[in-house]
A and B are shown apart, each in its own frame.
Chain A
Amino acid sequence: AQSVTQLGSHVSVSEGALVLLRCNYSSSVPPYLFWYVQYPNQGLQLLLKYTTGATLVKGINGFEAEFKKSETSFHLTKPSAHMSDAAEYFCAVSESGGANSKLTFGKGITLSVRP
């Protein structure tokens, strides 16, 4: 069984500051990992994904994440926060090579950006 842990429910940063959103996973098989963003009253938008290969993954809007197998982590970062980054962020895992790619999500983290 897979699981995702996102510690804390809310992170607040100043505009221009570093954004760090933490994600730890548990999986019995090599995982595929995803970060999604959700703006109010909208669906989920894919930020980035890790499947195989390079462990540092770059996504849209200046976000990146690093897969660390030894730490079972996939933390999301952005060097400089922008007001438009305020949203809810979800980390998710699916089974690699599985016939069913259903996603298991973390609880989500709300990011606030202060002017």
Chain B
Amino acid sequence: GAGVSQSPSNKVTEKGKDVELRCDPISGHTALYWYRQSLGQGLEFLIYFQGNSAPDKSGLPSDRFSAERTGGSVSTLTIQRTQQEDSAVYLCASSLSQGISNQPQHFGDGTRLSIL
């Protein structure tokens, strides 16, 4: 079946521009996660959505970062006024359910974001 789909696969933009990254989770997966992978910081948690509950935003690095999940499915991560330190690979993952931490997360191939 289809896995987690992310778009675009690559994005190059100028410093100061806004960007939107999209994630389509696996059908039926209620939990959705965003992570950031960068050379200096490794893999970092950004935000977590579960059903209609309020998202866990504890990993967002600044108020320039926001995310939404419409209809419990597709999610968009938005970065406003991009900075060069935002350059990274942004990974999305989905899993089956909340409260059962042994359900593995399935990852997309990521969006490679480069800020000029």
Interface residues of A (CB under 8 A from B): 32, 34, 36, 41-46, 49, 51-52, 90, 92, 94-108
Contacts and interface: CB of A to CB of B under 8 A. Distances in A.
Interface stretch (B11-19, B42-50, B80-88): B42-50
Nearest to B110: A43
A96 B109 contact: no
Contacts, number: 68
A43 B33 CA distance: 13
A100 B107 contact: no
5 contacts: A100-B48, A100-B50, A101-B31, A101-B95, A103-B35
Nearest to B98: A99
Contacts of B104: 34, 46, 49
A108 to B, nearest CB: 6
